[in-house]
């Protein structure tokens, strides 16, 4: 299977516009409940230049929210507030101040009320990490918007994008058997990844950005040449080698792009090599 250049360019242009639209979506996260815990939760989001994360003074969830984070003392308070929480149209993350009374039996009772994956305890050592993971999971379709307005989430979301794209290309590299037929598909996927990483860092998707993406084509063919060489002396089926090369090559490209958008330049060792 082969993708014509014009078709590929159209797909990338369309994806670029879609990516830009998603990253520009308005985001509104509400935090309600116990004031002391609410402040702690709010602090984990860091700088928020356009006030996407707002503290709700009471438990009335008037207005449109993409996500609600509710801070409660314990299971008893959750049971007491259940009738209010159930009225929320937005997904809900519950943060408990105390965890002593939470047993397996209690969790079974809560299962029908809340998503247990979105139940977090304030005093856990990895509280911030678990909270951020829950936010990204609940707002997966708006993760680019999260990264745009909340810089603390950028590394986390960039890592997901790189991992997902690398796994996809590994499957493509292993599954396509016609020599060279996988290159246009791998390259398109790599370009999509770089566009998403640009959006994560709130970079404009301009013509100049498209020029930078052309580097992807060259890197893709280097990966293919490397795969052909490896096939000659690495034991095991060829499709496994192709999959490994597609995965590692895409991952390396993603990490390089992430570094570039983070620092505004390529890593020093890359820059030195390009000058020599």
Q: What is the pLDDT of residue 139?
A: 93
Q: What is the pLDDT of residues 6-26, one digit of tens each?
A: 446 677 777 777 888 888 888
Q: What is the pLDDT of residues 62-81, one digit of tens each?
A: 568 899 999 988 877 887 88
pLDDT at 159 over 90: yes
Average pLDDT of the chain is: 75
Q: What is the pLDDT of residue 228?
A: 52
- Residue carrying structure tokens 């308070």: 77
Q: Lowest-confidence range among 61-65, 87-91, 191-195, 264-268?
A: 264-268
Q: What is the pLDDT of residues 204-238, one digit of tens each?
A: 755 456 556 555 545 555 555 555 555 545 555 55
pLDDT at 103 over 70: no
Of 122, 64, 114, the residue nearest 92 (C-alpha): 114
How far apart CA 71 and CA 96 sit, in angstroms, is: 6
CATH numbers and ranges of domains, the chain: 5-23+153-275 (no CATH), 29-138 (3.40.50)
How far apart CA 189 and CA 169 sit, in angstroms, is: 7
128 Cβ neighbours under 8 A, 6+ residues apart = 44
pLDDT tier, 132 (very low <50, low <70, confident <90, very high otherwise): very high
pLDDT above 90 covers a percentage of the chain that reads: 22
How far apart CA 190 and CA 167 sit, in angstroms, is: 11
- For residues 232-254, give the mean pLDDT: 72
Q: Who wins on pLDDT, 71 or 256?
A: 71
How far apart CA 32 and CA 15 sit, in angstroms, is: 36
- For residues 146-155, give the mean pLDDT: 92
Q: What is the pLDDT of residue 272?
A: 45
Rounded to two decimals, what is the model's pTM? 0.75
Q: What is the pLDDT of residue 276?
A: 39
Q: Who wins on pLDDT, 36 or 103?
A: 36
How far apart CA 138 and CA 199 sit, in angstroms, is: 19
Q: What is the pLDDT of residue 20?
A: 81
Q: What is the pLDDT of residue 161?
A: 95
- For residues 87-95, give the mean pLDDT: 86
Q: What is the pLDDT of residue 45?
A: 92
């Amino acid at each position: 299977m082969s993708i014509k250049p014009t078709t590929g360019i159209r797909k990338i242009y369309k994806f670029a516009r879609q990516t830009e639209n998603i990253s520009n979506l308005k985001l509104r996260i509400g935090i309600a409940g116990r004031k002391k815990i609410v402040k702690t939760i709010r602090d984990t989001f860091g700088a928020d230049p356009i006030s996407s994360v707002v503290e709700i003074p009471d438990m009335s969830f008037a207005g449109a929210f993409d996500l609600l984070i509710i801070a409660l003392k314990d299971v008893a308070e959750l049971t007491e507030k259940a009738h209010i929480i159930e009225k929320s149209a937005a997904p809900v993350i519950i943060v408990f101040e105390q965890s002593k009374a939470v047993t397996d039996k209690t969790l079974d009772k809560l299962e029908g009320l809340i998503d247990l994956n979105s139940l977090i305890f304030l005093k856990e050592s990895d509280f911030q990490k678990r909270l951020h993971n829950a936010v990204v999971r609940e707002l997966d379709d708006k993760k680019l918007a999260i990264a745009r307005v909340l810089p603390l989430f950028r590394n986390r979301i960039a890592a997901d994008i790189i991992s997902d794209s690398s796994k996809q290309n590994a499957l493509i590299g292993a599954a396509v058997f016609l020599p060279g037929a996988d290159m246009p598909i791998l390259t398109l996927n790599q370009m999509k990844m770089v566009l998403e990483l640009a959006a994560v860092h709130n970079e404009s998707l301009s013509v100049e950005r498209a020029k930078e993406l052309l580097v992807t084509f060259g890197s893709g063919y280097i990966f293919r040449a490397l795969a052909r060489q490896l096939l000659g002396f690495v034991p095991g089926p060829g499709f496994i080698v192709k999959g490994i090369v597609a995965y590692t090559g895409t991952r390396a490209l993603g990490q390089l792009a992430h570094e570039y958008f983070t620092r505004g330049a390529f890593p020093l060792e890359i820059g030195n090599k390009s000058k020599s």
